Amino acid sequence: MSSETTHRQRLVRTLQCRPVDRPPLPYWMGFAPWPQTLARWREESGIGDLDPATYFGLEPYFEVAPIEYGPWPHCERRVLREDADWVVSTDFRGITMRNRRDGLSMPEWIAHPITDRASWEAYKEQHLQHRLDERLARLDEFAAGAIERDAAIQVGVFPWGVFGTLRDMLGAEECLLGFYTEPDLVRDIIDTYVELWLALYEAVADRLAIDHLHIWEDMSGKQGSLISMKMVRAFMMPAYERLAAFCQAHDVAIMSVDSDGLVDELVPVMMDHGVNAFMPFEVQAGSDILATRQRYPTLGIFGGLDKRALAVGDRAMHSELERAEEMFALGGWVAGFDHLIPPDVPWDHFATFMAELSKIVGL
């Protein structure tokens, strides 16, 4: 392959499991630190404005089209109560949550905007009308710069997905019960969001060549999927087929899913309905990217290195570097860890690992 291969071409071809001149090494979630981690690294490195992407010379990742995927206008953000340690507030989606002031934990979900059919109809009327001109207000400026940069373009981003958004609107328990007790409501929520996203994506496709359609789900734990494959097929896959049809109509090369946890059941079902890439293959949940590569030779794989090795040190890090070498040799892999880098990782461990990984890639 020509040495003039662009970052965009290399990234997309890799995820299509096609030959490339060398593997890409972009900066994405698989190398990104939590805010507390970055603060630690800046202190330990003595670099007050440390930016890992720049420091290690990592390459561009997909650029996400700046569109409004959810409620528009946004729900009112309100602080309901607070004390020295905690803040209870509602976010732009209308979800009420409790957060630590220091940001050192995931939020505690307290209440969700959809409680029944009436609340859904009101939310849909107030916040989910298409209003495309407003939702796309920043797109033209972004498109001009993206074309000049020859950027790899992505539509779809956290926290928007078929199951993921449904769960966030209803709450986890009500979502899971709803498949049994309110199946028509569940389908209407899914269909409404997918109709909106497709209208937005069509508008993006009129201005830009899209490379990647991403679906955020986070629908698994150590035990696997939160719902059965029968339910996945019945409730989710009609939506995936519509998204896949959009990809086919507009030559979108990559349709990916993000789910933490063990995704072994989900991968083949979703591949049957248009998905051709997955992330981030959480090791502590039982994911194994080498086994996944052998089982699915055409699946684009993001991440899957064990972030815990960075805290342990030399031997554990060496094992992950060996895993990386094997994955690079097999192809179809965008290197990275299995989630954001946690605060127990010292700067010198991360810096050592990234230097060795860059040597393997040839940067």
**CATH number (domain holding residue 195):** 3.20.20.210
3-state secondary structure of 33: strand
DSSP 84: S
Task: Name the amino acid, one letter, at 21.
Answer: D
The residue out of 230, 260, 288 marking a domain boundary is 288
The residue-averaged pLDDT of 322-351 equals 97
Structural domains in the chain (count): 3
The residue-averaged pLDDT of 275-286 equals 98
| Residues 126, 220 within the same domain | yes
Instruction: Please give the residue range of the domain that contains residue 157.
Output: 65-70+114-288
Place of tokens 């307290």: 110
Report yes or no on 295 lying in a domain. Answer: no
How confident is the model at residue 1, as a pLDDT?
42
Place of tokens 């040495």: 3
| Residues 104, 5 within the same domain | no
| Residues 177, 224 within the same domain | yes
| Residues 105, 199 within the same domain | no
Length of the chain: 363
How confident is the model at residue 8, as a pLDDT?
97
Which helix H or strand E contains 109, and what residues bound it?
strand 108-111
Give the residue, 4 or 64, on which the prediction is more confident. Answer: 64
Q: 37 CB contacts (<8 Å, ≥6 apart)?
A: 340, 341, 342, 343, 345
How confident is the model at residue 227, as a pLDDT?
97
Q: 66 CB contacts (<8 Å, ≥6 apart)?
A: 138, 139, 142
Residue 103 has pLDDT above 80, yes or no: no
DSSP 316-353: HHHHHHHHHHHHHHH--EE--BSSSBPTTS-HHHHHHH
3-state secondary structure of 273: coil
Residue 17 has pLDDT above 60, yes or no: yes
Residue 142 has pLDDT above 70, yes or no: yes
DSSP 232: I
pLDDT averaged over every residue in the chain: 96
Which helix H or strand E contains 280, and what residues bound it?
none
| Residues 215, 171 within the same domain | yes
Report yes or no on 294 lying in a domain. Answer: no
Report yes or no on 107 lying in a domain. Answer: yes
pLDDT band of 82, cuts 50, 70, 90: very high
**CA torsion, points 10, 12, 17, 18, in degrees to nearest 10?**
-50
pLDDT band of 101, cuts 50, 70, 90: confident
Report yes or no on 278 lying in a domain. Answer: yes
Report yes or no on 299 lying in a domain. Answer: no
The residue-averaged pLDDT of 320-326 equals 97
| Residues 15, 145 within the same domain | no
The residue out of 244, 262, 288 marking a domain boundary is 288
| Residues 251, 165 within the same domain | yes
| Residues 56, 8 within the same domain | yes
CA proximity to 128, closest of 76, 189, 37: 189
Residue 219 has pLDDT above 50, yes or no: yes
| Residues 246, 196 within the same domain | yes
Report yes or no on 105 lying in a domain. Answer: yes
Residue 94 has pLDDT above 50, yes or no: yes
Residue 3 has pLDDT above 80, yes or no: no
Residue 2 has pLDDT above 80, yes or no: no
Report yes or no on 300 lying in a domain. Answer: no
Report yes or no on 119 lying in a domain. Answer: yes
Written as six digits, the tokens of 273 are 């309905």
| Residues 105, 124 within the same domain | no
Place of tokens 């956290």: 158
| Residues 93, 119 within the same domain | no
pLDDT band of 106, cuts 50, 70, 90: confident
The residue-averaged pLDDT of 102-130 equals 94
CA proximity to 278, closest of 263, 294, 295, 291: 263
| Residues 228, 179 within the same domain | yes
Q: Among the listed ranges 104-113, 194-203, 332-341, which one has the minimum average pLDDT value?
A: 104-113
